[in-house]
Amino acid sequence: MQPFIIHTGIVAPIDRENVDTDAIIPKQFLKSIRKTGFGPHLFDEWRYLDPGWPGKDPATRQPNPDFVLNQPRYQGASILLARKNFGCGSSREHAPWAIEQYGFRALIAPSFADIFFNNCFKNGLLPIVLPESTVDRLFHEVQAFPGYELTIDLQRQVIIEPQGAEIPFAVDAFRRYCLLNGLDDIGLTLRHADKIRAFEAERLARYPWLARTFAG
């Protein structure tokens, strides 16, 4: 998992409340058994005018020119600004996969659905909760200034606006540690790889019959 320390990026606004995970990544794309390839289908039903399905080449489809991510001013955006209760609906982990694989590193909203919020941290995304009044002001700033960028400093737990003003945000200390060090659940376990190998070797020495294989 890529560490998150300081990130500067263009902000893209999704000006809708209660965006559910089926809107983030529609159900037909959940058939894949791989953990990759979801970025081109982020917000698929809003992003394209024609229906999409697994295996269909996005280059052959009709982009919706009115959808925010298709507008030139938001190309290359890596910070997603959203309204309250973002990520509600089913608990599919494919939703943060699609957001991360599109190129977003952080999300800002007044609130997130609980399971989606937890899944973001597990997949290298930083979801930031700010007061609704602050989020509303950021929406106005983003819409007023093409190419609007924010800098997110996770070490200091502040968002730095273009003019230098800072917005503090809260984040759980353990989740902050994991993001700063690029540790997902597997990475956390592998920190103890030497102890795990030592335990396995000691157990095998004491109970060698555990290594015995049996013919089917």
pLDDT, tens digit (0-9, with 9 covering 90-100), for 145-199: 999 999 999 999 999 999 999 999 999 999 999 999 998 877 777 777 787 888 8
- Give 157-171 pLDDT, tens digit per residue: 999 999 999 999 999
Ranges of beta strands (E only) in 43-87 are 79-82
Are residues 99 and 119 in contact, defined by beta-carbon separation less than 8 angstroms? no
What 3-state DSSP class applies to 67?
A: coil
Residue with tokens 């020119």, as numbered in its chain: 65
Q: How far apart are CA 163 and CA 21, in angstroms?
A: 34
Flag whether pLDDT at 56 surpasses 80.
Answer: yes
Domain segments of the chain as ranges = 6-182
The torsion region of residue 134 among left (phi > 0), alpha (psi -120 to 50) and beta comes to: alpha
- Residue 188's pLDDT is 72
Are residues 121 and 127 in contact, defined by beta-carbon separation less than 8 angstroms? yes
Domain 6-182, second-level architecture: Alpha-Beta Barrel (3.20)
Biggest CA-to-CA distance, the chain: 71
Tell me, rounded to whole angstroms, the distance of Cα 104 from its chain centroid.
7
Flag whether pLDDT at 85 surpasses 90.
Answer: yes
* 8-state DSSP, 75: T
- Give 101-147 pLDDT, tens digit per residue: 999 999 999 999 999 999 999 999 999 999 999 999 999 999 999 99
Phi, psi of 6 (to 5 degrees): -130, 130
Which helix H or strand E contains 108, and what residues bound it?
strand 106-109
- Give 8-20 pLDDT, tens digit per residue: 999 999 999 999 9
- Give 10-47 pLDDT, tens digit per residue: 999 999 999 999 999 999 999 877 788 999 999 999 99
Strands 158-160 and 149-153, bridge-based pairing: antiparallel
Phi, psi of 169 (to 5 degrees): -140, 155
Residue with tokens 């990759």, as numbered in its chain: 36
